[in-house]
Structure 1
Amino acid sequence: MTAVQQRLETERLVLRSLARTDAIFVADLISDEDVRRYLGGPVSPEQHEATFARYSSGENGGMVWVVETKNLQTSVGLVFLSPHRDNGEAELSYQFRAQDWKRGYATEAAARVLSHALGDLECVRVIAETQTANLPSRRLLTRLGMTEISRHVRFGSEQSLYATGNPA
């Protein structure tokens, strides 16, 4: 996976690089209890700057896109593509504002990043990890054509690991 940030588009969305001007949006997103329910809980205000810096740095060769609606140019979420902590394979993850759930934005944006990873970036396989209890996220991954391949305990909760493409 080569960490070259690219602007991506879908019918309704623009996925663009994270900018300093996105700091307030990111702080609001990572502070939301609903958004962070399965992601370790809300990030404390004292950690907002460090979290934003980590997202911005693309640490470990990762990429992050801000997802905006084309019609209103409103930021609705973030999509990440980064090396998985266990094996370095490309891992897809996302966070979307709760008020924008059930509009298909997360599926549309994640599908675009997945296509970019498997096509343009020539990733052999992309994985995603989510808490097994997070049924909406698991349904989204299934809609993307990903298949659950294993379960394990991490962060004190059972996690489901999904994959698409061929084994690395």
Structure 2
Amino acid sequence: MLLGFAFLAQSAAAHESGPSMSILGTAENVKIVEEDVVLEARLDTGATSSSLNALNKERFEKDGEDWIRFEIIDPDDEDARITLERPIERIAHIRRHSGDSQERPVVRLEFCLGDQLLTADTSLVDRTALSYQALIGRSHMAGHVLVDSGEEHLRAPDCAADDQ
């Protein structure tokens, strides 16, 4: 039993000396930095990757690369849309609970979560039937965010680096 306490103390000390981590709730406002759009997102430690509600997806070629143009719902007016364009990093093959699989384009997005400016791959999928336009998974949060499962909206997006 003493070995367990010693391990926990070492683990806690390692985290204290490591990078600064933000404590956020299970639902937070996050900013898509490039477009300066703030959305309500679900922070999900059970999800490996992040996903974003993407409507009217249209693939095209730009400078010899595959790109995608898509729309998100304007958080200030649910009848309006905001258009985003990004290069496609890859196509993810997602196996669904029903057993069938779905292909999803994946783009790199920079999000501001609390005071953390984080970039990671994000799959584009129609999330209009879900409560949140964005789901932030471990790929964005690992090493930067601790999630308090009993809290929501602990910290507004405020990344000094995104104002430069």
- Greater share of residues in strand: 2
Normalised TM-score (structure 2): 0.30
- Greater share of residues in helix: 1
Which of 1 and 2 has higher RCO (CA within 8 Å, sep 6+)? 2
Question: Which structure has the larger Rg?
Answer: 2
Normalised TM-score (structure 1): 0.30
